[in-house]
Amino acid sequence: MGFFDEDPFEDIVREFFQENRSRTSSSRNSVKSEKEERIIDYIEEDKNVYFVFEIYGYSKDDLKVEVGRDFVEVKANIKDTEGIQDYLIPKLKKGVVLKKEVPGLKIKKYDWTFNNGILEVRIETK
């Protein structure tokens, strides 16, 4: 029985203190062990479909958005590390690939915007 049993924030505390890891881990290990969670929202409205992705740390020039039959794929690879804190560079250089499959998606045209780490892909359907 732990100190934080029955507490809704127990998982957060365990993750913060890395309960299952030794306290002597190096900073290199902490970058590799971070869990990668990206939020993807999917919204249908009339003849438009919207995808909203959270992709922090990248600029618009770092992104490549591809929309095809039945899928939306986003690739982020950092091109310029100037002005970025050193501890973030290894993680951002790994890049991110997000793919959402949508069976039956029929595309007429699409566009996308990126602002403050939020990518919105708007697809006009047939």
CATH classification at residue 70: 2.60.40.790
How many separate domains does the chain show? 2
Q: How confident is the model at residue 4 (pLDDT cuts 50, 70, 90)?
A: very low
Is the pLDDT assigned to residue 10 strictly greater than 70?
A: no
CA distance 112 to 86: 30
Do residues 26 and 41 share a domain? no
Same domain, 29 and 54: no
pLDDT the model gives residue 35: 46
Same domain, 54 and 29: no
Residues 84-102 have a mean pLDDT of 88
Which carries the bigger pLDDT value, residue 93 or residue 33? Answer: 93
The long-range contacts involving 56-59, CB below 8 angstroms and separated by at least 24 positions, are: 56/117, 57/84, 57/88, 57/91, 57/92, 57/117, 58/92, 58/96, 58/117, 59/114
Are 31 and 45 found together in one domain? no
Range of the domain at 23: 1-35
Query: How many angstroms separate the Cα of 92 from the Cα of each of 32, 36, 57, 73, 126?
Result: 12, 12, 7, 18, 36
Whether residue 45 sits in one domain with residue 64: yes
Same domain, 52 and 75: yes
**Pick from 28-37, 66-75, 84-93: least confident:** 28-37
DSSP E strands, 9-103: 40-45, 48-54, 63-68, 71-76, 96-101
pLDDT bin (cut points 50, 70, 90) of residue 75 is very high
Looking at the structure, tell me whether residues 88 and 58 fall in a common domain. Answer: yes
